[in-house]
Structure 1
Amino acid sequence: MLHQLRKLFEQIGAGESVEVRPEKDVRMISAALMAEIATADQKVDERERSALVRLLRDHYQLDETTAEDMVERALSERDEATSLYEFTQTVNDNFSERDKYLLVKQMWMVAFADGEIDAFEEHLIRRVAELIYLPHGLFTRARAEARDESQLGAD
């Protein structure tokens, strides 16, 4: 997936004529980053997959089928990923601080979906937050809110 995104941005940088729908690109970047969290512990729990679909559906106001397709694509293409930097650079170029906060919160929500935070999941979320320059206070707030919301959903 990173390879495809890199190719798209190379085309744009070279001034080539490409049809770009930034909203779609941003949604796929969000899906890809959340898919990285879902697979950080080398397994995709059904609760994490369901959280991915729900978060994309609700945040981007997608229908269920579109959200499921995006998740499937993000999960199946993650092996093509070469670097977080490519995703996070696009996030930095296109997301406001609020959008960055919401993305990190959503990543935490995926991580909390299976009831446990794996060390790899935490490390990856922390790394993304650093690369998108999310202030530490917002990072910890996103984690706390995601934890609280996941506990409410479990009740």
Structure 2
Amino acid sequence: MLGQLKRIFGNSEPLPEGLLQVREPLDLAIASLLVELTRSDFSESPAEIEAVRHILGRRFAISETAANDLIARATQRADRAVSLHEFTHRLNKELPESDKLAIVEMLWQVSHADGRIDKHEEHLIQRVAGLLHVSDRDRIRLKLKTIVGD
């Protein structure tokens, strides 16, 4: 047993990706949340994928090719993720409230891209908003802004 503990705690190898991966770009974390949302209703609609591409291009001022690359990397990252906390931890620590609100708004926009908001999508947005410490009031306000418009 002592040998196992030494192997676990005495190992100087790099930490695996995940919660402690502090070098992971914030744009990848945001893109991964958007990708997770497209899959939350168990069907990736082309409209939602296109919305992710458009939102990432606009938000990060990148080309369509760069947005596609970011989506591919985000998909791989989301496939390896154990929880949403892996993406929201750094975002919550490093971003101001206005950026957190923008992330929640992006999630609503992707969710509504196919003309409806699935209950699984809504639940995921509620969880992400909670992890980012966005109030229920702001979350609902952003939902209505997305559905009804300004």
Give the TM-score category using the shorter length. 0.7 to 0.9
Give me the TM-score of the superposition, normalised by structure 1.
Answer: 0.80
Offset at residue 7 of structure 1 (A): 5.5
Q: Distance in 1 between matches of 2:61 and 2:140?
A: 26
Offset at residue 64 of structure 1 (A): 1.1
Q: Distance in 2 between matches of 1:92 and 1:135?
A: 13
Q: Percent identity?
A: 31
Q: Secondary structure at the match of 1:4?
A: coil
Offset at residue 145 of structure 1 (A): 1.5
* RMSD after superposition: 1.8
Give me the TM-score of the superposition, normalised by structure 2.
Answer: 0.82
The equivalent residue for 1:100 is 100
Residues matched between the structures, number: 135
The equivalent residue for 2:29 is 29
Offset at residue 84 of structure 1 (A): 0.9
Deviations along 1:105-136, one digit per CA (max 9) or x if unpaired, are: 00011100111111110000001101110022
The equivalent residue for 1:54 is 54
CA contact 1:48–1:110 (8 Å) conserved in 2 = yes
- 5+ long unaligned stretches in structure 2: 1-15
CA contact 1:32–1:75 (8 Å) conserved in 2 = yes
Q: Secondary structure at the match of 2:137?
A: helix
- 5+ long unaligned stretches in structure 1: 10-19
Structure richer in helix, relative to its length: 1
Residues 1:87 and 2:91 aligned together: no
